[in-house]
Amino acid sequence: MSHVSSHPSPGAAPLRTVQVLGGGSAGSCAHVRSLASGLVARGVRVKVAAPDETEQDHDFTGAGAEHAHVPRSSDPASLTLLRDACKDADLVHAHGLHASFRAALALGGRRTPLVVTWHHRTHAEGARGHLLRLLERQVVKSATVVLGATSDLVDRARRRGARDARLAAVALPGGPRTARTDDTDGQGAKLRAELGATERPLLVSAGALEPHRGHDVLLDASRAWCRLDPVPLLVVAGEGPLRPELQRQIEDEDLPVRLIGHRDDETALLAAADLALLPSRWEPLSPLAQEALRARVPLVATAVGGIPDLVGDAAELVPYGNARALADAVVRLLGDPGRRELLREKGARQAAGWPTEDETVAQVLSVYDELTLLRPLP
């Protein structure tokens, strides 16, 4: 880790930064809150430019940051608000494609360094996909440094023409939990009973019911589990536009699957599982994968996006869209207690090596120092 400045030197003005968010995913908003807290603790002034509802949900001011209301829009009034928020900044750090595009417009050729973090990629086809590629090229052309949460996002930024693209250290806020906690109140048993999995294996997946999440492949794979005795139960936590279609397939084919909707207890649900399943077409630093390894739950996931780098050899990886490979991996694991235990041990070791929140802040601050080293004193 390169040296970073924890505090401004005596007599120097504190570094003034603006973190720009749109609506933002829960993951990117949690990252910005964690980053704001760590930067403020190191003597950096932080302003978060985000909609009021995002501040209400994530309490950036509670982390010591200033909040400036800026709607998630590129209209002239919103850009004026963002331009005002950034006018005294020594550095602007935007999170996500749309926030980065708006930050580039607001800075309008000023010499203020612009750092961009890409946490994930947007899925779109046809004309919308073409527009997104144009936005990506415009953003990386304007950015001083692009930080990618995964190596394939870094490669994507370089293909779009980024001058300087680097792999970001991004921690999942909350700190490491590298062992199952004692289930002193029997919560896991209660959850399994509630779901109808007291005497059968419980498989858990979670995520919005959207096309790129691969739930159709998951349902196709579940046909193969019907021949097992006892038949495993797959529960899927999440809501989305595909729910009616998926529910119809479950009922028509009598599949051993339950769609249980949005849950506030996904972490406990995952910890109660025998296996966690992640069938997505693309994933960045998947919270489900991280929680599974930290909770010592064997994981079967697609070898896409940031998953291989994240899990290493601590999970069973299968190709996206291959229901047979996914089904076979699940059947093998359910029949091999030794392999499941090995994955639990490997998962705990892999999770212990992920970046901490302190390391994430240190890396970002080293980039800030690099870009603002020669900034004039007021």
Which tens digits make up the pLDDT trace of 73-130? Answer: 889 999 999 999 999 999 999 999 999 999 999 998 789 999 999 988 776 677 887 8
Domain ranges within the chain, ordered by starting residue: 16-174+356-372, 187-352
Whether 16-174+356-372 and 187-352 share one fold: the answer is: yes
- Asked whether the beta carbons of 115 and 92 are under 8 A apart, the reply is yes
Classified as helix, coil or strand, 264 is coil
Cis upstream peptide for 376 (omega within 30°): no
| Cβ atoms 164, 141 nearer than 8 A | no
Q: What is the length of the chain?
A: 378
Q: Phi and psi for 144 in degrees, rounded to 5? A: -75, -45
Place of tokens 């291989």: 308
Task: Return the bridge partners of 148, or none.
Answer: 118, 167
135-146, pLDDT tens digit by residue? 999 999 999 999
CA distance 231 to 168: 42
Within 71-226, where are the H helices? 76-86, 97-107, 126-142, 151-159, 187-195, 215-225
Which of 44, 43, 57, 38 lies closest to 18, judged by CA?
44
**pLDDT(20) > 80:** yes
User: What local confidence, expressed as pLDDT, does residue 94 receive?
Assistant: 97
pLDDT digits (tens, 9 = 90+) for 291-341: 999 999 999 999 998 899 899 999 999 999 999 999 999 999 999 999 999
User: Is pLDDT above 70 for 53?
Assistant: yes
Mean pLDDT of all residues in the chain?
89
186-195, 199-208, 211-220, 289-298: least confidently modelled range: 186-195
| Mean pLDDT calculated for residue range 219-247 | 95
Residue 103: which of 120, 122, 121, 86 has the closest Cα? 86
Please determine, looking at this structure, whether the domain spanning 16-174+356-372 carries the CATH number 3.40.640.10: no
Instruction: Using the structure block, give the residue that is written with the tokens 């030794």.
Output: 338
CB contact at 8 A, 5 and 367: no
Q: Is the pLDDT of residue 376 over 80?
A: no
HEC letters along 52-71: HHHHHHHCCHHHCCEEEECC
Q: Which two tokens mark 141?
A: 């052309």
Asked if residue 179 has pLDDT above 70, the reply is no
What does each C-alpha distance from 169 to 39, 100, 122, 188, 310 come to in angstroms? Answer: 15, 19, 21, 32, 11
pTM for this prediction:
0.80
CATH no., domain 187-352? 3.40.50.2000
Higher pLDDT, 24 or 10: 24
